[in-house]
Homo-oligomer: A and B are copies of this chain.
Amino acid sequence: MSRTIAILTGGGDCPGLNAVIRGVVRSAILERKWRVIGIEDGFDGLVGEPRWRELTLDSVRGILPRGGTILGTSNRGNPLAYPVEENGETRLVDLSSEVVENFKRLGAEALIAVGGDGTLKIALALQEKGMPMVGIPKTIDNDLRGTDVTFGYNTAVGIVTEALDRLHSTAESHHRVMVVEVMGRDAGWIALESGIAGSADVILIPEIPFDLNSVCDAIQLRKSRGSKFSIVVAAEGAFPAEGQKVVQVTEAENRGVERLGGIAAYVADEITRRIQIETRVVVLGHVQRGGTPSPFDRILGSRFGVKAVDLIEKDRYGRMVSLQGRLICDVDIVDAVDSLNRVDPDSGLVKSAEALGITLGRPILR
């Protein structure tokens, strides 16, 4: 029996979104002769006059190697608390009934929502209002529970590692300390894995509040061993341990941290102040999100798309696709959105980093 399904992509863009869309479209059309509707700009596309287009095999031709999402993503945000301007003021309005109504008029039976924590929470709420939903997790920072990892993260680690490779030659030629700020507000996965892969000397992550004495000691120990440069990788959410000077990021928050290099600039300034070594700051920013997805992310995105269609076929709504080991499974959306996937400071990965001689800025007991 032919069915019609819909898909949207929400939140920040992420390499592999197009692989998901292509996976949904190809498996729905080729295997089942279903019809697929693509909703534009996330849940925004279901507010006001619906914005959507039919997705055919032609629509998804050649998109597997491309970053971003052909469907666009939401910029205005949550339909449950939607910003509406009235008399010069902005109020937050619950437009979920309008969204459900608009969705029904499209004639689709189910909606695949691809997105992070925020998008999945909206999906849950709409599911309760009667919209049959399937979730696909998306987080470039790898901070979402409910799946071992999701697409985009692997690509980001690749981009950061390549940048670290590049920065090594300039750091070495100039005997400098390079402080590199990478994505990761709540979880330090990108900093940790690309730091190990990119031969960082110091890695600072939100899960381990750092001690600047420990950072400076590491740099000076390297110097005493003949290495005149060091590479420090800092997750944007890293912060100093209690009792030390707190970073002032008010201006940074106003203007976007990627603009100011909040934590990296702070760390660099402190290193120069404390041990008089020349430092340079690099804030990688948006380049970490872009470009062609890695093979891993293409495969994972494609398989997630295929699996979401499977779940719809079996009327398993309210579920989210998930990678566990090498298997694609599904979990309750509700179990995925309630807490964060953070680096365990006692994990094998962290211990491996330390065994390799990398300093994670753990406080020194003196």
Q: State the A residues within 8 Å of B (CB).
A: 9, 12-13, 15, 17, 22-23, 26-27, 30-31, 41, 57-58, 61-62, 64-69, 72-73, 75, 148, 154, 157-159, 161-163, 165-170, 172-175, 178, 193-194, 196-199, 225-228, 255-256, 258-261, 265, 268-269, 278, 280-287, 289-292, 294-296, 298-299, 302-303, 306-307, 309, 325-328, 348-349, 352, 355-357
Contacts and interface: CB of A to CB of B under 8 A. Distances in A.
A8 to B, nearest CB: 12
Nearest to A307: B352
Contact of A193 (B299, B325, B328): B299
Q: Which 10 A-B pairs have the closest CB atoms?
A: A166-B290, A68-B169, A67-B169, A197-B295, A166-B291, A13-B173, A68-B173, A27-B355, A197-B298, A161-B295
A290 to B, nearest CB: 3
Contacts of A62: 168, 199
A26 B357 contact: yes
How many of these chains are in the complex? 4
B170 A290 contact: yes
A139 to B, nearest CB: 15
Given A13-B173, A259-B261, 14 more contacts: A9-B173, A23-B356, A62-B199, A66-B169, A67-B166, A68-B168, A72-B174, A75-B175, A157-B295, A158-B295, A167-B286, A255-B269, A258-B282, A303-B352
12 contacts: A62-B168, A65-B199, A68-B169, A72-B174, A73-B173, A75-B175, A165-B292, A169-B289, A170-B289, A194-B295, A280-B285, A283-B283
